[in-house]
Structure 1
Amino acid sequence: MPIQSLDRLPPVGDKIPQFFVTTLFIFEGSSVSMSLYKTIRTHHHFRMTFGVLNVGELIVMLFYTSIGFLGYLQYGEDTEGTITSSLPASPLYDAVQLVYAVVVLGTYPIILYVPIQVLWNIIKQKVGPIINGNEWNGVKSQGGARLMIIELVFRALLVVATYLLSVVVPQLDLIISLVGAITSSSVAVMIPSILHTVTFWEQNSNRWARIRLLAVNLVLFAIGLTAFTLGIYFSVSDIIDSYRTIEFINETTLPSSSVG
């Protein structure tokens, strides 16, 4: 398939809000970043100018930018929500999708690391005393082994739940933009700006340092609030338009198929 010329590509102006909140969703790795910072041995290597965080974010940005640009340059308005869905059926592209599936399989434990750590500790506090204090199948419970089985089942259920969500939701890209508008703008921008102000306000005795701290965090909070408001509005509008389009297609195709 030949690459489309730049002047023939459709405009993307009306998709800028969706792009913005989707980008927030992509870069919202604060939970994983904080867990990595907690476990890393040399913390200064993490937060330095060319440290783990900045270099990692730069690599992620380059990957997403190049894949998004080249995919849009190739498929134009036919670009799907996930670029692998736009690939034609051929052995080469099937191999690409297989490699992509392997990558997702390898990175899934990292993505679910924080939710599992939070949720499993809550479940373990509830289930642990019951298992350790009772018998299971007539045999005295071995708490560690039983808890490991339950933890593996819990991890598997999380994976199955996210898989079912991706299957059930027809327009996954629109849901991602909505989730990015709600969670990423608040968790990655607004809440950290508030916490940063509260944490370092008393430590900055200098008046101008406090003014600078407040000004920077107010700007960040305003950016997050703008992304939150506009992102929800445009994402919900796109979801409604998408389902209206699906209903219109069904209404126009079903009568003709029944007549035939």
Structure 2
Amino acid sequence: METTEAPLPLLDANQRSKSGGGGGGATSAQTLGNIVVSLLGTGALGLPYAFRVSGWLSGSLGLAAAAAVVYYCMLLLIRCRNKLEEGRDKDGAAVQIQTYGDLGAEAFGVPGRCLTEVLVVISYAGTTVSYLFFMGENLSSVFSSYGISPSAFVFALLLPLEAALSFIRSFSVLAPFSILADACNVLAMAIVLAVDVQQLRKPSRKAKRSAFNGAWSLPFAGGVAVFCFEAFGLTLSLEASMAERRKFPWVLLQAFLGTAAAYICFGVFGYLAYGEDTNDIITLNLPSNWLACIVKVGLCIALAFTFPMIIHPVNEIIENKLDSSEWFQKLCQNLPGRNWLGLQAVRLLIVVAVAFLATSVPGFAILISFTGSTVCALLAFVLPATFHLKLLGSSSTPLQRVLDYSILATGLVFAGYSIYSAVSGHSMGFMT
């Protein structure tokens, strides 16, 4: 999911490069760490259920395929930027590509920028909705003896907290929490895997598990897999941050190989441990003990402090549009803080809207699958292939063009089928 100018939590401001040139000051190790940080998210917690839907073998192969295509498409974005920054604009100035929207503008003008930024907003808003949904469900399960609903936790606890955090505009303040959040995510996944292994040792858990549940189940699992690989949103920022940008493809490959292997293990063991009892959020399968409570609360704390980072692209795009509009300027001219107060009010409204959506979605797995197979598929597959064909098609080999068209067609079919399934209600059948 594409973040436009979102700062990277492990990089200082003087390490980031706004465009091209010789790159930033980040080493390969720092960049590798940032890629892994951007890949780890709530999507992994829905993988065991996705493997229940599709079967453990087809789910594993689908996730590996999604990782390979996302990796290739991230490289397409880099090639497009490198080609554009070799030239000059109509005024003779060097072309600078800082965001995904800039690529859209270079490829298709204003409509290209608008489409790209709309998809960015929807995809990141979908991620923040999944965060609130996940936190509400898990907090409700931890305090189940009190009978507090997930919606109550979202509105009474999470909404005020995230509204307050959204007012923080300095990411240096949030950076330590981001690092803590990723440490909590890794630790929690390790604990869940350990519990899964213990479950597999029980005789009652050795029943046959499906390896393949039919072709119609693959789009659902594929959507979850695409949602898991969120790093395509940080492609341009990650590559520009490196001191030796030519090493980026190799560093990116290392991150994808390691993360894909970890995701496959997490999904397979989670499904094999619980079989048809696998919940759409795997943490809800954990036994009711102090260890499970620590995992759930730890993940909620991690997501609570990651939320401002994820909502940042949404805030930034909307604020940039409002800040340059005459009607918003007139609306804010009588306010005490003028534009600043107006923009803060907009941030509050965005968080409120996300909270209402989080209490309305039918389920965690459905949410991340639909988001992954529609807007994420468009951003990760369709747009990179389209931009590459538009900007470098004439200089590409026939094989490259065939590959681009294949990715483009697959992404469109994937998104189209997912929208059809959602409208017709077919995807709801997976929740049974």
TM-score by length of 1: 0.72
Report the counterpart of residue 297 of structure 2 in structure 1: 98
Question: Is the CA contact 2:286–2:292 (under 8 Å) kept in the aligned structure 1?
Answer: yes
**Which residue number in structure 1 is paired with residue 227 of structure 2?**
25
Task: Report the counterpart of residue 199 of structure 2 in structure 1.
Answer: 2
**Maintained 8 Å contact 2:382/2:412:** yes
Q: Which residue of 1 aligns with 2:321?
A: 122
Asked if 2 retains the 8 angstrom alpha-carbon contact of 1:25 and 1:177, the reply is yes
Shift of 1:99: 0.9
Tell me if structure 2 keeps the 8 A contact 1:21–1:180: yes
What is the SS of the residue equivalent to 2:359?
A: helix
Aligned to 2:236: 34
- Counterpart-to-counterpart distance in 2, 1:152 and 1:55: 40
- Equivalent runs, 1:80-95 vs 2, <5 Å: 80-95=279-294
Equivalent in 362, 365, 386 of residue 170 of structure 1: 362
**Could you tell me which of 39, 44, 47 is aligned with 2:245?**
44
- Aligned partner of 1:225 in structure 2 is 412
Residue segments in structure 2 that go unaligned for 5+ positions in a row: 1-197
| Matching residue of 1:251 | none
Conserved? CA contact 1:197–1:213, under 8 Å: no
User: Quick one: which of 336, 348, 353 aligns to 1:161?
Assistant: 353
3-state SS of paired residue (2:382): helix
- Kindly tell me the number of residue pairs found equivalent between the two proteins: 228
1:239 paired to 2:431? no
- What is the aligned partner in structure 2 of residue 215 from structure 1? 402
User: Structure 1 residues 92, 28: closer, same or farther in 2, change over 3 A?
Assistant: closer
Per mean C-alpha deviation after superposition, the further-off stretch among 58-67 and 167-176 is: 58-67
Q: Distance in 2 between matches of 1:226 and 1:135?
A: 49
C-alpha distance 45-116 of structure 1, shift in aligned 2 (>3 A): farther
* AA in 1 matched with 2:403: V
**Rg (Cα) greater in structure:** 1
Task: Provide TM-score, normalisation by structure 2.
Answer: 0.46
Aligned counterparts of 1:153 and 1:188: Cα–Cα separation in 2: 32
Provide the residue aligned with 2:371 in structure 1: 179
Residue 70 of structure 1 corresponds to 269
Counterparts in 2 of 1:226 and 1:7: CA distance versus 1, 3 Å: farther
The Cα RMSD (Å) is 3.1
Aligned match of 1:256? none
What is the aligned partner in structure 2 of residue 13 from structure 1? 213
How many Å separate the matches in 1 of 2:360 and 2:391? 42
Give distance in 2, aligned partners of 1:29 and 1:111.
12
CA drift at 1:128 = 6.3
For 1:47, give the aligned amino acid: F
The answer as to whether partners of 1:17 and 1:234 remain within 8 angstroms in 2 is no
SS of 2:324's equivalent in the other structure is: helix
1:12 Cα deviation after fit? 4.6
Question: Which secondary structure does the structure 1 equivalent of 2:199 belong to?
Answer: coil
- Go from structure 1 to structure 2 and tell me whether the alpha carbon gap of 1:181 and 1:2 turns closer, same or farther (over 3 Å shift): closer
| CA distance in 2: counterparts of 1:216 and 1:240, whole angstroms | 33
In 1, the alpha carbon distance for the partners of 2:244 and 2:307 equals 25
Deviation at 1:16, TM superposition (A): 2.4
CA deviations 1:17-76 (Å, max 9, x no partner) are 2111221222244333334445x25360673312xx434444443443232222212211
Cα separation, partners in 2 of 1:35 and 1:120, compared to 1, 3 Å: farther
Which residue identity does 1:26 align to in structure 2?
C
**Which residue of 174, 184, 196 corresponds with 2:388?**
196
Secondary structure in 1 aligned to 2:234? helix
Q: How many angstroms does 1:93 deviate by? A: 0.4
Following the alignment from structure 1 to structure 2, what is the Cα–Cα distance between the partners of residues 160 and 56? 35
CA distance in 2, matches of 1:118, 1:201: 29
Whether the 8 Å CA contact 1:31–1:114 is kept in 2: the answer is no
Offset of residue 91 of structure 1: 1.5
Label 1:37 to 1:131 Cα distance change in 2 as closer, same or farther (>3 A). Answer: farther
One-letter amino acid of the counterpart of residue 277, structure 2: D
Greater relative contact order, per chain length (Cα 8 Å cut-off, separation 6+): 2
Counterpart amino acid of residue 239 in structure 1: S
Structure 1: state its 5+ residue gaps: 246-260
3-state SS in 1 of match to 2:299: helix
Quick one: distance in 2 between partners of 1:66 and 1:151?
Answer: 43
Letter in 2 for 1:23: A
Corresponding letter in the other structure for 1:123: L
* Amino acid corresponding to residue 227 of structure 1 in structure 2: F
Report the Cα distance in structure 1 between the residues aligned to 2:390 and 2:355, rounded to whole angstroms. 39
Structure 1 runs of 4+ aligned residues shifted over 6 Å read none
